[in-house]
Amino acid sequence: MKNVSIRYGDKLILDNIDWTVKQGEHWALTGPNGSGKSTLLSLITGDNPQAFANDMVLFDRQKGSGESIWDIKKKIGAFSPELYQYFPVETSCVQAVESGFYDTIGLFRPSQAHTAGIALRWMKLLHLDGVASKPLRQVAPVQQRLCLLARALVKSPVLLVLDEPCQGFDVQEQAYFRQLIDAVCALRNLTLIYVSHYREELPECITKQLRLQNGRQVD
């Protein structure tokens, strides 16, 4: 990102952001509520149309050079804690994980043996195989969050974006989640952007930080 600014009417949300993230780097994106973190993420995930009016390169392609939003999304695995609310009530945990292959909030096509098998393997790795057939909305919050993590990882993305993934977790749950992220990043050449308000929630693999305050970069 070079001198990226986002404005809604008279309100300046992001002010001249310069940010370079290289493959394999692990970043923390921090700042108080209203600092512009969610807007910044929406530029990366392709959900903000103002990205086309700014100087941005995503996955070595200039933004607006002909790529579709789906070209971008297939390289990104992402979730935020509230995402589970948008899944249809009947969606099972394994269906939620499998939907990550298609970047849909729910599985709106027949399950495929190959993708369902990969989804189940991820669930087993995260000790979720016991809830595979249960509705996502009815399992414990920590299980919901881990299902969403599996959904984000199932297509082997280049970039993993986690937006306050430990929100509402107790100390033990936070520690377990951090260990999982450290293990995943140690095994794969993943680029990580991890959003949090709290230093103690960050995995050990984090080595870089971008902090926002009122839409501006701060040290």
Q: Are 163 and 90 in contact (CB under 8 A)?
A: no
Residue range 106-164, pLDDT digits in tens: 999 999 999 999 999 999 999 999 999 999 999 999 999 999 999 999 999 999 999 99
Q: Closest Cα to residue 56, out of 92, 5, 99, 10?
A: 5
Please name the amino acid found at residue 178: R
Average pLDDT, the chain: 92
Q: What is the count of structural domains for the chain?
A: 1
Q: Is 29 exposed, middle or buried (0-12, 13-18, 19+ CB in 10 A)?
A: buried
The CATH number of the domain holding residue 122 is 3.40.50.300
pLDDT tops 90 at residue 96: yes
- The confidence band for 62, taking pLDDT boundaries of 50, 70 and 90, is confident
pLDDT tops 90 at residue 65: no
Cβ atoms < 10 Å from Cβ of 4? 21
Q: pTM of the full predicted structure?
A: 0.92
Which of the two residues, 69 and 114, has the higher pLDDT score? 114
Q: For residue 72, give its domain range.
A: 4-218
